[in-house]
Structure 1
Amino acid sequence: MTEPLLSVQDLSVAFRQGGRDMLAVDRISFDIKAGETVALVGESGSGKSVSALSVLKLLPYPSAHHPSGRIVFKGKDLIAADENEMRRVRGNDVTMVFQEPMTSLNPLHTIERQVGEILRLHRGLSERAARTRTLELLELVGIRDAESRLGAYPHQLSGGQRQRVMIAMSLANEPDLLIADEPTTALDVTVQAQILKLLADLKSRLGMAMLFITHDLGIVRKVADRVCVMLEGKIVEQGAVADVFANPRHPYTKRLLAAEPKGRANPVPSNAPVIVEAGPIKVWFPIKRGFLRRTVGHVKAVDGVSVRVRRGETVGVVGESGSGKTTLGLAILRLVASEGPVVFLGNRIDGLRAKEIRPMRKDLQVVFQDPYGSLSPRMSVAEIVEEGLLVQNRGLSYAERRNVVARALHDVGLDPATMDRYPHEFSGGQRQRIAIARAIALEPQFIMLDEPTSALDMSVQAQIVELLRDLQKRRDLAYMFISHDLKVVRALANHVVVMQDGKIVEEGSAESIFASPRTDYTRALFAAAFNLETVGSSAVRE
């Protein structure tokens, strides 16, 4: 038996709060052998990322410390290592790919400078040698026309390209261990599949080990050799992926494996009235260049799209990032300017001024993707949910508004007694329920749901899908559900619209689209989402 490359032994991580230690990780142990991929899985707050950051001694809080345990890498205890020793380990022997590349890359530096800096500092390469090696790395991670990207800044790249740059930076010094912390969470299913395949190919080619952190068991099945399941700071189960998936022993593991959104959309009567009908809609953003800022072209975000939503119906709008999904929804809500008719309850609203459309806002609501960013941290839950009531000037007394808030919170499965708390006191799933309560407090007829489950753990996703179906059935709501998560769309949508480059490439009933997609683009989306054998087509590109 060879010694493991990394051995985490009886490790605890604590944060000092109010004069006492709060355990975030509680006596966990696991090994990673050379060339092996071990996955840490669990819901948000289970201690996965804190465990991984401990390996590199990068815990984000000064009060963080290790009450117990050892982290042995190549026979050396990293917890006992000083900062100079850790600096040699980081970037050389162990590197990390973070979840959100946009916050990990410097927005003020070009891609060449950011990758080249690592090569110059750690490898002592000259400017010319660093440029040559940077090109090799960008080509290695699948950046097309890499030379033309050297002078690009992070905001000029797509999400998948930015993540590839992060991977190139992490591979610059050919590490023995790569730590990947939720590297695909924010990516479309097709780009996610490409990144996962890239990591697997690189691991095989370079012979490195990998610690993969995720809350998605579908990803674990694709990339990992062994899995450790974490709950409330403890590893409750670990073993070979095939064994854990086939015969899970711990109730929490069984719950995670069963957490995928299930069920199908509520049926819609054939005579259900149309709530919203729009199109053909165009949203073109001008491209201005030169000293005089002349328009030299247009970004055709939405280009001649038509859509119709009936009472009690969910229309799912799917496609990759940049396909125009969200822009279409914002145009229907009159939150971005557009050309073309938008009809709400039989009346055209596309020509109305902001003042004229304000009374209709109570019937046209939206739930955004990020439950952390869409709720004001300075407002209590009651203030957040009742805000629309005040704007609409419904003439309700303070007590009446509190009753409306209590009813809305009850309907989304939250205790009305918590209405005077603040968003930071709630989990991600609870915050999204608060956002939904805010939308339904005005008793709307149409709600645009913009990626409302993408930032949530899979078990919480399933709960939100059940909640949305239940609310729709009880309140006869019309939904436009925008998402790149096709598993969630399949569980919620009656009708599906597939968008690519601002146009509809395919649409039909959810049943027919999921049973037999007609276009290469749709088939590639489904292959990536449902882990089919043939992923990739010329229709899906980086």
Structure 2
Amino acid sequence: MSTVLDVRDLRVGFRQDGTIVHAVRGVSFQVHRGETVALVGESGSGKSVTALSTVQLLGDNAAMSGSIRYAGTEMVGASEADLRRVRGNDISFIFQEPMTSLNPLHTLEKQLAESIELHQGLRGPAVRDRIIELLNRVGIRDPESRLNSYPHQLSGGQRQRVMIAMALANGPELLIADEPTTALDVTIQAQILDLLAELKDRERMSMLFITHDLTIVRKIADRVCVMKDGEIVETGPTADIFANPQHPYTRTLLAAESTGVPAPVDADAPVVLETSNAKIWFPVQAGLLKRTVGHIKAVNDATLTVRAGETLGVVGESGSGKTTLALAVMRLIRSEGRIAFQGTDIHHLNQRQMRPLRSDMQIVFQDPYGSLSPRMTVAEIIAEGLTIHDVDPGRNRRDMVAEILQEVGLDPDLMDRYPHEFSGGQRQRIAIARAMILRPKLLILDEPTSALDMTVQVQIVHLLRELQVKYGLAYLFISHDLKVVRALSHKVMVMKQGDVVEAGPANEIFDAPRDDYTRALMMAAFEGEVA
């Protein structure tokens, strides 16, 4: 079997304030023709840096040594002209977030044509024919109608398919996929993995697949390299790694899955949140006079109840209306129907009337990197709500911040640091602390674990369970990760294209789903465990 990529003793460091920060330490591995090798590890383990090193895509502050040979040609120290011939032609990349990889100002046709014209020299109608062929191959329906679309007009799954089409445009021998399914719903994730496997077999293509999700590795990889702190700590055939992991870190990764069930809800627990026939339609306006010519039906007739100490898991694909419903519950967007918070109908309240209730209704967002101000210290971020809502004005703010930091498992001595000095899991704990310091009755959690490594996900699930029991919190938990939903939720509501297709106790939804769409979600998430 011929070797496509041969990495030997790769070492990468980054110059920072006169010192070298070591990111990759003596990594060696091979990728053979037609083979998929997975680089697995948590954030900061060196996976992406290793991948970017293959075609020298690191910044000017990078220092690299070792050997990277592609098809026998040395890449380390290669000329820029040689690297340009390989990049996007022989070695192509698919990145995690297509919205940041695609140009928002250019149509799909223009972006795909650019690569084809540059590398293949095609012009005119031949380019358009090649684009349509590529979009067909990656499963974009009616590709001719999509050529003039912009990235924001596509779903997450469609954008990722376009990225795959761009990567395949020039028939690469090696495809490097860096967390290509992390941001996708379970059904779309399954489709993308099937597509990559099919294309690899059809094109006899090699693949270097980077992920922190071992469930995906089991489905797609022939061999696995487990990375920790810039080193490969274990490598071998996928079946062997899963059946008999040797390194303690590999065993930790394999065991990192959110399991168990939440604590039972008190029989007399009061209702915290209730909606009845909630409807959110956005008008579509056209013409000079901006007349309403139709509606985007984001949510139709959503009825739910959440009691103190109870979690309602809201699941469904992107665009199903989950987050829109949460924003309506918070009265951040307009809606129709009844929304009651602690027995008070808040649907018709204005901003001034809602203000006294805001401290009791808090939200934790998906991205702990984007939801914390980089210009504020942790103490300032967490205490901000105390000042806005005038909570316990007689108490020392720093003492209150120290207490809540301890409660979420962080050292109070770190409160004067800035968000960039913390890991993703620590930042999410800070976001939870910011919400919890106000002692809310309702906490809306919008994909709070999807950006986190598996081991950190488990920690956050345990933390949320503990806080719920201690304070009798009501959770509205929005997620596409059904394993986390099962570990946290007492009840589940399944949404599709704005409609509630199924709702009920979590054990009934997971063990005996009635709707075809729910069954499809379960099959995608649990690999056929649910009949």
| TM class by smaller structure | over 0.9
Using structure 1 for the length normalisation, give the TM-score: 0.97
1:415 aligns with 2:426: no
1:510 aligns with 2:506: yes
> Counterpart of 1:452?
448
> Counterpart of 1:540?
none
> Counterpart of 2:478?
482
| Counterpart amino acid of residue 521 in structure 1 | Y
> Counterpart of 1:64?
62
| Counterpart amino acid of residue 148 in structure 2 | G
Distance of aligned partners of 1:495 and 1:395 in 2 relative to their CA distance in 1, 3 Å threshold: closer
Q: Deviations over 1:121-180 (max 9, x none)?
A: 111111110100100000000000111011111111111101101100110111100000
* Aligned counterpart in structure 2 of residue 396 of structure 1, from 393, 397, 400: 393
The Cα of 1:291 is off from its aligned counterpart by 2.6
The Cα of 1:533 is off from its aligned counterpart by 8.0
Matches within 5 A, 1:77-476: 77-394=74-391, 396-397=393-394, 400-476=396-472
2: CA distance, partners of 1:472 / 1:401: 24
| Counterpart amino acid of residue 49 in structure 1 | S
2: CA distance, partners of 1:87 / 1:291: 49
1:47 aligns with 2:46: yes
Distance of aligned partners of 1:347 and 1:534 in 2 relative to their CA distance in 1, 3 Å threshold: closer
Kept in 2: contact 1:228–1:235 (CA 8 A): yes
2: CA distance, partners of 1:136 / 1:435: 45
* Aligned counterpart in structure 2 of residue 494 of structure 1, from 472, 484, 490: 490
| Counterpart amino acid of residue 150 in structure 1 | L
1: CA distance, partners of 2:325 / 2:57: 41
2:337 match: secondary structure: coil
2:312 match: secondary structure: strand
2: CA distance, partners of 1:392 / 1:533: 47
2: CA distance, partners of 1:252 / 1:337: 48
Segments of structure 1 that go 5 or more residues without pairing to the other structure are 536-542
Q: Deviations over 1:39-68 (max 9, x none)?
A: 001000100000000001101x211021x3
The Cα of 1:347 is off from its aligned counterpart by 1.1
Matches within 5 A, 1:519-534: 519-532=515-528
Q: Deviations over 1:65-97 (max 9, x none)?
A: 21x310011111111210000000011111001
Kept in 2: contact 1:189–1:529 (CA 8 A): yes
The Cα of 1:302 is off from its aligned counterpart by 1.0
CA RMSD of aligned residues (A): 1.2
Count, aligned residues: 531
> Counterpart of 1:539?
none
1:131 match: secondary structure: helix
1: CA distance, partners of 2:469 / 2:205: 51
Kept in 1: contact 2:26–2:231 (CA 8 A): yes
2:478 match: secondary structure: strand
2:335 match: secondary structure: coil
Kept in 1: contact 2:139–2:161 (CA 8 A): yes
1: CA distance, partners of 2:421 / 2:222: 37
Q: Deviations over 1:229-265 (max 9, x none)?
A: 0001000000000001111111110000000111111
Q: Deviations over 1:96-132 (max 9, x none)?
A: 0111111111111111111111111111111110100
1:285 match: secondary structure: strand
1: CA distance, partners of 2:54 / 2:204: 20
1:148 match: secondary structure: helix
Q: Which moved more, 1:73-82 or 1:210-219?
A: 73-82
The Cα of 1:391 is off from its aligned counterpart by 0.5
1: CA distance, partners of 2:277 / 2:491: 18
2: CA distance, partners of 1:410 / 1:327: 33
Kept in 1: contact 2:225–2:236 (CA 8 A): yes
Kept in 1: contact 2:309–2:474 (CA 8 A): yes
2: CA distance, partners of 1:221 / 1:72: 27
The Cα of 1:395 is off from its aligned counterpart by 5.1
The Cα of 1:361 is off from its aligned counterpart by 1.0
2:370 match: secondary structure: coil
| Counterpart amino acid of residue 241 in structure 1 | T
1:9 aligns with 2:8: yes
1: CA distance, partners of 2:230 / 2:49: 9
1: CA distance, partners of 2:496 / 2:289: 32
2:14 match: secondary structure: strand
| Counterpart amino acid of residue 133 in structure 1 | R
2:285 match: secondary structure: strand
Using structure 2 for the length normalisation, give the TM-score: 0.99
1: CA distance, partners of 2:432 / 2:165: 40
The Cα of 1:21 is off from its aligned counterpart by 1.7
Kept in 1: contact 2:2–2:33 (CA 8 A): no
Kept in 1: contact 2:330–2:361 (CA 8 A): yes
Kept in 1: contact 2:34–2:205 (CA 8 A): yes
Kept in 2: contact 1:178–1:209 (CA 8 A): yes
2: CA distance, partners of 1:529 / 1:415: 35
Kept in 2: contact 1:284–1:298 (CA 8 A): yes
1:108 match: secondary structure: coil
Q: Deviations over 1:15-45 (max 9, x none)?
A: 1122222210000000000000000010001
Identity rate, percent: 63
2: CA distance, partners of 1:292 / 1:109: 29
2: CA distance, partners of 1:466 / 1:533: 24
The Cα of 1:534 is off from its aligned counterpart by 9.6
2:62 match: secondary structure: coil
2: CA distance, partners of 1:254 / 1:475: 34
Kept in 1: contact 2:510–2:530 (CA 8 A): no
Kept in 1: contact 2:175–2:205 (CA 8 A): yes
2: CA distance, partners of 1:259 / 1:219: 14
1:65 match: secondary structure: strand
Kept in 2: contact 1:450–1:483 (CA 8 A): yes
2: CA distance, partners of 1:20 / 1:417: 26
Q: Which moved more, 1:208-217 or 1:281-290?
A: 281-290
Segments of structure 2 that go 5 or more residues without pairing to the other structure are none
